[in-house]
Amino acid sequence: MKKKQAGMGKSLACKPIMILAVAVNLGIIFYFKYMDFFIENVNAVARTDWPLMHIMLPLGISFFTFQQISFIVDTYRGEVPDYDFLTYACYVTFFPQLIAGPIVTHDELIPQLLDEKKKTVNWDNMARGFYMFAIGLGKKVLLADVFGVAVNWGFDDVPSLKATNAIFVLMAYCFQLYFDFSGYCDMAIGLGQMLNIDLPINFDSPYKSLTITEFWNRWHMTLSRFFTRYVYIPLGGNRKGDVRTYINLFIVFLLSGFWHGAAWTFVIWSVLNGIFVIITRMFRKTFEDMHPALGWMITQGFFNLTLVFFRADTISDAMEFIKQILYVDFTNIDVNILYAFQTPVLKFFLDNTAVTNSLPFIYVGMYYFLALFIVLGTRNSHELMASFKPTVKNMLWTSALLVASIMSFSGISTFLYFNF
């Protein structure tokens, strides 16, 4: 494969082409993802009555658009070798991470696609890939989807919630989002391993973070990297004084909110997180001297509460949800939440026992305890993969997870990040 080495540097003559190419990509994602949002707001402000277009959103458009933009900008900077179109197309459409990330750059994927040594079956990588895929599928099907049942019930009828149920629903959504995204990342990495491709880490146990800055260095790491390289640093980063740094951080979080979805709820969610990141940076010494347990509670409590805006359909629903918590009107756990966690696997082992008959919320407690133990008390997936060995024990564990997950394919399951 003939390819010229990069390094020619920027060219002023190429700058208009680069700007045009980036604008075309942004225009495409605006049309498909944000056109109805734009029309709705124009109608609200100008009192017009333009009809909505109801455009179907292509899967993964937020991810492959950013990959194309990074390729265009790096090409302009003289950092990309002269690849042919087929190689470029394989880079953009590499299916394990196409739908929901990680957002890969040309320098970490294309050389692997062109490496002849990676074009033969590697049985160690195949075993490691199945192991990672099974863990990810288990997180998604056996945990995220179960918590999702309670979440959907709670956010479908927010005004009827009381403090107890609102808190349980919010905690359920925190776990659902965690295992949904973490599970997809594991499956993407696993599929990549089966093809001898190493994908970047995108999720690094964010619920163990002690500060909000650390949290965002661990959550959706490749998205943070994209905004750092192509927005934050070009705006000046932290090189032009504190005030400019805070403005740049705020812009990054604002854009991140719009990236996640065409709704003001996402914008509010991102702005709240951006403001807290700025506050943490302004009072860094205070947060550094804080007891780790207190820092963890503040960080996780703040992030989890802002997730109400991330999940709610409207701002009014989000405010009503928060009010239900603040009313402190504690009641029994609603029967819909109790039923959500009575899964076939648990009922097979525990149903009709004296404990579960007298204490039906035992199912809820088991799921919440298990989820909390996994996110805080276990090694994360890339650590497990680094120490993986194709042993009989790992083979049995992989097989058990795959069988249990497949047997649980009984309901409608959607990856949350497909929507982004």
Q: Is residue 169 domain-shared with residue 248, that is, in the same domain?
A: yes
Q: Is residue 48 domain-shared with residue 171, that is, in the same domain?
A: no
Q: Is residue 60 domain-shared with residue 153, that is, in the same domain?
A: no
Selecting among 220, 260, 291, 382, the annotated active-site residue is 260
Is residue 406, in this structure, part of any structural domain at all?
yes
C-alpha–C-alpha distance, residues 74 and 347, integer Å: 54
Based on the structure, what is the number of domains in the chain? 2
Is residue 384, in this structure, part of any structural domain at all?
yes
Is residue 191, in this structure, part of any structural domain at all?
yes
Query: In the chain, how long is the greatest CA-to-CA distance?
Result: 78
H or E segment to which residue 210 belongs: none
pLDDT tens across 61-75, in order? 889 999 999 999 999
When pLDDT is averaged across residues 152-164 and rounded to a whole number, the result is: 91
- Domain containing 70: what range? 15-93
Residue 135 falls in which region: left (phi positive, over 0), alpha (psi -120 to 50) or beta: alpha
C-alpha–C-alpha distance, residues 156 and 151, integer Å: 8
Is residue 5, in this structure, part of any structural domain at all?
no
C-alpha–C-alpha distance, residues 55 and 52, integer Å: 9
When pLDDT is averaged across residues 90-109 and rounded to a whole number, the result is: 89
pTM: predicted TM-score of the whole model, two decimal places: 0.90
Q: Is residue 300 domain-shared with residue 172, that is, in the same domain?
A: yes
Percent of the chain whose predicted confidence (pLDDT) is above 70: 90
Tokens for 200, please give them: 């970047």
Is residue 113, in this structure, part of any structural domain at all?
no
Residue 420: what pLDDT? 58
Tokens for 113, please give them: 């696609």
pLDDT tens across 299-330, in order? 999 999 999 999 999 999 999 999 999 988 88
Question: Which SS3 state, helix, strand or coil, does residue 202 take?
Answer: coil
Question: Which SS3 state, helix, strand or coil, does residue 15 take?
Answer: helix
260 is catalytic: yes
Please check the confidence at residue 345 and state whether its pLDDT lies above 70.
no
Residue 4: what pLDDT? 45
Is residue 106, in this structure, part of any structural domain at all?
no
Residue 6: what pLDDT? 47
Residue 348: what pLDDT? 63
Half-sphere exposure of 158 toward its Cβ, with a 13 Å CA cutoff?
Answer: 19
Is residue 370, in this structure, part of any structural domain at all?
yes
Is residue 50, in this structure, part of any structural domain at all?
yes
